[in-house]
Amino acid sequence: MTAVPAERIVIRRAGPEDGPKLGDVWLSSWRATFDFPPAHPDADVRRWLAEELLPSTEVWVAIDPDDGGRVVGFMALSASMIEQLYVLPDWIGRGIGDRCVAIAKDRRPEGLDLYCFQVNQFARQFYERRGFVPIAFGDGTGNEERQPDVRYAWRPTAVPSRTVVAPDGTPIGVFTTGTGPALILVHGASADHTTFRVVSPLLATRYAVHAMDRRGRGASGDTPPYSIDREFEDVAAVASALATESGSPVDVVGHSYGGRCALGAALLTDDIRRVVSYEGAPTPPGERYGDAAVLDELRALDAAGDPAAVLSTFMTRVVGLDEEGLARYRADPVWPLRVAAAHTIVRELESESTSAAAGLEALGRVRQPVLQILGGDSRPEFGVATRALDARLRDGRVVVIPGARHAAHHTHADAFVEAIQTFLSAP
């Protein structure tokens, strides 16, 4: 039999006349995919689709005009979720799902979530290849079928103000706001440039703020093999590009792993004038961030394909976030973005602990003025590392923000900005 060309399929908004046809698609697709029954009888499913889902959501139908307008697939959108996406078995893999997802992204440009049964590997691969990332795994208590599920999220990638090409050819996206002397912001593990969304507007009143996405996330590329040394080169390349443009050296502020990258970059170029490192120092011998078993556990979670668990474990066991703080983080709209970058956590922890260039003795050779910011309530190892690095720097100083932990740029924004401005404006 000759395959029907997918191009002839028309996708349009559904009307009331389409309601009775949705059940055929839903039930046929379900039975071809799962070996467990729906939670409700067929008649109830058909009635719910036609009388409840269709009037309450934005439904799009894929129809075959050469087959009497037969509905071969449909998608239902709520305010922020793909509630349903089903295609007749004979039409799966022929572009209808792709077209529906493209419509969904166009209609919901701020982002989308969806649920999928964990057992549905075909659907999971389909969504993951289209930019959706798993952000939570359920045990089945949250759905009527009592089947383990996974929540996916898609968030659009912002368009950078400029792209700087690193020495190994990796494109590094940079987002610029404000006017004045150039100030580069370098984010920490699992984050992207949006982690500075609270302090960036405050800094932009005095500086041209250039927040970069580090390699492997957001608007930046990724070139294997990974090494923290390449991250040093990335920051140095951005600094040199901005220094060439402005005609003078630039300043760099880095948070956590980004602080270490900023320090490493300062060893590579004179285009960096001063460095601010917020809890980015390497630990001295005998000290570590997190407990001894955490890296192996993170490796196992990463290998199991559970980025949400990787991020949660990292934030609690390494950063020191408590359960209340983790719950707030999970409820934040940026959580899906952080989960999307969770695959970078293990490689960064491995590289920072094995690279001689990222150790205390190497970074202690930075000759530019360095301000280290420390949270007064941060885990003890952050203070130990900060003071160990300060003891080795030629021109270092430490500012402690009382009451802050590892996220003063969110929780104590005014104090964080004041410390930076005071340091950068000093003679």
pLDDT at 7 over 80: no
Token reading at 60: 């799009």
**CATH fold of 162-287+327-425:** Rossmann fold (3.40.50)
d(CA 181, CA 162): 17
Collapsing DSSP to helix, strand or coil, 386 comes out as helix
- Stretch 58-68: mean pLDDT, rounded? 93
pLDDT at 2 over 70: no
Contacts of 213 (CB under 8 A, 6+ apart): 160, 172, 173, 174, 175, 187, 192, 193, 219, 220
Can you give the pLDDT at residue 77?
97
Average pLDDT, the chain: 94
pLDDT at 81 over 80: yes
- Site of tokens 């368009």: 159
Distances, alpha carbon 166 to alpha carbons 220, 233, 409, in Å: 10, 7, 27
Q: Could you tell me which CATH class the domain 6-154 is placed in?
A: alpha beta
Can you give the pLDDT at residue 6?
61
- Stretch 98-107: mean pLDDT, rounded? 95
65, 10 contact by CB (below 8 A): yes
In 341-425, the DSSP E strands lie at: 370-375, 396-401
Can you give the pLDDT at residue 32?
96
Give 336-386 pLDDT, tens digit per residue: 888 989 999 999 999 988 899 999 999 999 999 999 999 999 999 999 999
Instruction: Calculate the CA 206 to chain-centre distance.
Output: 28
Which regions of the chain carry the CATH code 3.40.50.1820? Answer: 162-287+327-425
- Stretch 332-337: mean pLDDT, rounded? 85
Can you give the pLDDT at residue 173?
97
Which regions of the chain carry the CATH code 3.40.630.30? Answer: 6-154
pLDDT at 5 over 80: no
Judge if pTM exceeds 0.85: no
Can you give the pLDDT at residue 277?
98
Can you give the pLDDT at residue 331?
84
Can you give the pLDDT at residue 93?
86
pLDDT at 4 over 80: no
Can you give the pLDDT at residue 3?
53
Give 165-184 pLDDT, tens digit per residue: 999 999 999 999 999 999 99
- pLDDT band at 255; cut points 50, 70, 90: very high
- Stretch 50-57: mean pLDDT, rounded? 97
Angle of helix 307-314 versus helix 343-354 axis, rounded to 10: 50
- Site of tokens 């009307």: 15
